[in-house]
Amino acid sequence: NGTAGRTPVTVLGRQDEGLWGQARSRWGSRLLASQLWPRWGGQTRRNFARLCCLLIMNELPALTPRESWGHPINGGSQHSPEEVPAAASKPQHSLGILHVSYSVSHRIGPWWDFASCGQRWNRQILKDVSLYIESGQVMCILGSSGSGKTTLLDAMAGRLRRTGTFLGEVYVNGRVLHRDQFQDCFSYVLQSDTLLSSLTVRETLHYTARMAIRHGSSGFFQKKVEAVMAELSLSHVADQLIGNYNFGGISSGERRRVSIAAQLLQDPKIMLFDEPTTGLDCMTANQIVVLLAELARRDRIVILTIHQPRSELFQLFDKIAILSSGELVFCGAPVEMLDFFSGCGYPCPEHSNPFDFYMDLTSVDTQSKEREIETYKRVQMTGASYKESAIYHKTLESIERTKHLKTLPMIPFKTKDSPGALTKLCVLLRRVTRNLMRNKLAVIMRLVQNLIMGLFIIFYLLRVQNDVVKGAVQDRVGVMYQFVGATPYTGMLNVPVLRAISDQESQDGLYQKWQMLLAYVLHALPFSIIATLIFSSVCYWTLGLYPEVARWGYFSAALLVPHLTGELLTLVLLGMVQNPNVVNSVVALLCISGVLVGSGFMRNIEDMPIPFKIFTYFTFQKYCCEILIVNEFYGQTFACGSSNGSVTANSMCVSTQGTDFIEKICPGATSRFTANFLILYSFIPALVILGIVVFKIRDYFIS
């Protein structure tokens, strides 16, 4: 059916050997993978041949030169790409990697070993890798762990660290890419899905579309998101939360589809996937690879790495590249792979998975020294045979040909018409706020964590005294010390795990890291203000501090800064240090040293050695403590051992005026009250600016 009006086919006839070759190229790998061909008899094979030829005749008009894989159609002569008439050849996008190498330098010994820490050795991760792929094709990069698969994808996407040495060139449509063009040409889906867990699928894609596309009404964005969800079979989970390991949500396969959908919103022409099947069951992994193959058929280039591929996936790849110790030992069509390794003396055994067999064949076995030497020599011989083969030379010729082919379009940039910085900032602010508001426990803890700390002080102290003999001064100084010292830690606990999402999305070109940093600060500010007001309202009046509303306002305003500073310090250090545990330790050390030295409670600042005295001027605790001391003690008159408030002859009653205690603890603080407030609040913009600079430096080294 469906073949009426077409040239009749004489199956297995001499004139149709080319057609059979075409069918064998297209479906032969499926037979090898399914392991059924060796079991079939002659009649079964002939029936299969008839079916393949009919399918080829049905699809013949849609075939491109790529799909023929070099086999003549209907017995016709095979033409080189230059000989194909211009009217018949449709311009395609192409990607060429030419002689790419990458090495990094490592220290030989640990940092504490002075004899060896200065010595370094170079590790070659990629060695002279060249490959070529056109739009509509799917390339699978195979290799054992540490073979350089992810590094090769990073090289294609321009995401190699600047600390290494990169050699070679990356061509898109015959034009060499410069460093600032990589981000616009490639979409890169990492192995781990970096998504906000408390957003729905629809919201996740909607916010991504808002940051990727400038013009459009709400209806336009809705249609765009709905179309992408339909394309990736996500419509049935559109209103479900993404979720994570702590609470339910969509499945891991659906989460991977959401990551792919977020990239499709930018309409990329080249898509890279690092281990897209990792952590998925067999059926879901197959569905993901089938989906990627469908995306490639829509005029895209799809390149993915797979660590342990199943035999069923063999049929879906147009090209297979095998890496071993950073060296490309093969890159070509699946049928060419079988022929190449058979020619090297390593035919794939019957009933074996070609992926597993050839990955084992090209891996270096390090279980023993003898096996390592033996397998390394085999890999080297295979790699040398590949570079002498016609397949490799055809790859180099294809790259050279695209350099001089003027019919190819310009470099296929992703959507460049992105919104302005203010629009992206607003979208990021709405997104991070909605993500938090869905987590009721997180919202409650944000608002009451300061209060919980204050309740411990209230239960311990109950109410401050007004008698110097009974500890009126000591109690107040202790309360100030605890409030200034503890509030930064409650702010530290609020920093969410946004850095991984920021790294991924900023490298995708959705926004810059400073926009995410500023959005987070604006998001945290109202929560910090409300939390501080709740805390100060309960603690200030319950403890019996200076009974004046204006003083309560100064008290609240002063304690807001330590709370925000704890978060900002954590954000700044997250831009410098990769390990979050180290960040928390460093922030804790800075806060402890700041309150010990800067407060002046442990030792008068005027009596400190000059280095410590200078250090106090760079601590926010100095200015905050001086404000709180003046706010509480100014205008106070304390009793001293008498119920009627008269001063007795007690040695502790030399002075009962609050101003005397201010001059004793913080000399001159009364006259600096306004200046201290201005300096204290200058820490917030200073840390924000420092964070922006640090994240820009981080961007430079990461990209």
Angle CA 268–285–139, to nearest 5: 45
Sign of CA dihedral 399, 404, 408, 413: positive
What is the rounded distance in angstroms from the CA atom of residue 213 to the CA atom of residue 224? 10
Residue 104, φ and ψ in degrees, nearest 5: -130, 160
State the maximum Cα–Cα separation within the chain, in Å, rounded to a whole number. 125
What is the rounded distance in angstroms from the CA atom of residue 26 to the CA atom of residue 316? 10
What integer pLDDT is reported at residue 497 of this predicted model? 65
Domain map (residue ranges) of the chain: 14-78, 94-105+123-404, 448-702
What integer pLDDT is reported at residue 652 of this predicted model? 61
What integer pLDDT is reported at residue 262 of this predicted model? 92
Residue 323, φ and ψ in degrees, nearest 5: -105, 140
CB 206 within 8 A of CB 411: no
Residue 77 burial class via C-beta count within 10 angstroms: exposed 0-12, middle 13-18, buried 19 and up? exposed
Flag residues of the chain having pLDDT under 70: 1-91, 109-118, 406-409, 412-416, 493-497, 642-654, 701-703
Point out which residues pair with 330 in neighbouring strands: 322
What integer pLDDT is reported at residue 151 of this predicted model? 92
Q: What is the pTM of this model?
A: 0.77
What integer pLDDT is reported at residue 54 of this predicted model? 42
What is the rounded distance in angstroms from the CA atom of residue 458 to the CA atom of residue 446? 20
Give which of 592, 581, 548, 587 is closest to 565, Cα–Cα. 587
Residue 191 burial class via C-beta count within 10 angstroms: exposed 0-12, middle 13-18, buried 19 and up? middle
- 294: left (phi > 0), else alpha (psi -120 to 50), else beta? alpha
What is the rounded distance in angstroms from the CA atom of residue 487 to the CA atom of residue 568? 13
What integer pLDDT is reported at residue 116 of this predicted model? 65
Contacts of 149 (CB under 8 A, 6+ apart): 141, 142, 143, 274, 305, 307, 323
Topology given in CATH for the domain delimited by 94-105+123-404 = Rossmann fold (3.40.50)
What integer pLDDT is reported at residue 414 of this predicted model? 64
Q: Which two tokens stand for residue 108?
A: 């030989």
What is the rounded distance in angstroms from the CA atom of residue 501 to the CA atom of residue 207? 13
What integer pLDDT is reported at residue 87 of this predicted model? 34
What integer pLDDT is reported at residue 654 of this predicted model? 65
Q: What strands lie across the sheet with 175-176, from one edge to the other? A: 175-176, 165-172, 94-107, 120-134, 327-332, 319-324, 138-142, 301-306, 270-273, 186-189
What integer pLDDT is reported at residue 332 of this predicted model? 92
